[in-house]
Amino acid sequence: MEDRINNSVLVVGLGRFGSAVATTLDDLGKEVLAVDKDPELVARWSALIPTVQADMTDVMAVEQVGASEFGSAVVAIGDSVEASVITAGNLLDAGVTDLWAKSVSKEHARILQRIGARHIINAETDAGKRIGHLVSSNYLDYIEIAGPHTVVKAHTPAHVAGMTIADAKVHDRFGIVVVGVKGPGREFEYGANELVMHRNDELILAGPQRQIDRFLTQQ
């Protein structure tokens, strides 16, 4: 019973964000139930994932859906701050402790945080920051961890092409870590010291962004 609860996720809101979350979780083998008050959205997604039509701002609907039986919940409502906050509050009152909620503004995020939402997602801001970093650099992908620290995917810079990680002294010279290397037609390999970084390889780098930039742009 406990394993089933831990593996189950309730997703409220079937817009672009919520439907992407729900289908991804389903693909990953999670037990998902998606809820939306719009019958057209429920009908659209019902062939792909388990769905139910309900207004989760109504406490009775929360009980009928069985929200307390889910290990996690995602509030993906973006068109109404009031509905988002009320739904989040109802789910917390129902006993859902691992609550993820989408916010559309700093004020919205602050309210969600105050009522006890454990994870706040500002999808548009996060995506905008990520795209900004990708457009302004040679990164293939970018994830902000905390403060100045990031994880970046980028091609091997010319000045270390053909060298092992140890010979290039990546950590000693730049203060960053090569987490792994993925070469064309090759499997991903963890960043062992003896691993050679070829020109067309994709490197997964972790560390302060300024240091990563130094490593990638040094001639």
- Burial class from Cβ neighbours inside 10 Å (0-12, 13-18, 19+) for residue 165 reads buried
Q: What dotted CATH number matches 126-217?
A: 3.30.70.1450
* Amino acid 128: pLDDT: 64
Q: Of 160, 146, 127, 132, which is closest to residue 208 (Cα–Cα)?
A: 146
Contact in structure between 198 and 183 (CB atoms under 8 Å): yes
Angle between helices 106-115 and 81-93 (to 10 degrees): 20
**CA distances, 22 to each of 15, 25, 28, 72, 104 (Å):** 10, 5, 10, 12, 19
- The segment(s) of the chain belonging to CATH 3.30.70.1450 are 126-217
What pLDDT does residue 181 have?
A: 96
Q: For 140-189, how does the pLDDT look when each residue is reduced to its tens digit (9 = 90+)?
A: 887 877 667 889 999 999 999 999 999 999 999 999 999 999 999 999 99
Q: pLDDT by residue (tens digit) across 28-62? A: 899 999 999 999 999 999 999 999 999 999 999 99
* Residue 37 DSSP symbol: S
**Per-residue pLDDT tens digits for 90-127:** 999 999 989 999 998 889 999 999 999 989 988 766 76
Where does 28-74 have alpha helices with state H?
39-45, 59-65
Percent of the chain's residues with pLDDT above 90: 74
- Say how far apart CA 190 and CA 41 lie, in whole Å: 42
Residue 87 class from Cβ within 10 Å (0-12 exposed, 13-18 middle, 19+ buried)? buried
**pTM here?**
0.69
pLDDT digits (tens, 9 = 90+) for 69-95: 998 999 999 889 999 999 999 999 999
Looking at the chain, which residues constitute the CATH 3.40.50.720 domain(s)?
A: 1-121
Domain 1-121 -> CATH class: alpha beta
What per-residue confidence (pLDDT) applies to 4? 47
Angstrom distance (rounded) from CA 161 to CA 173: 16
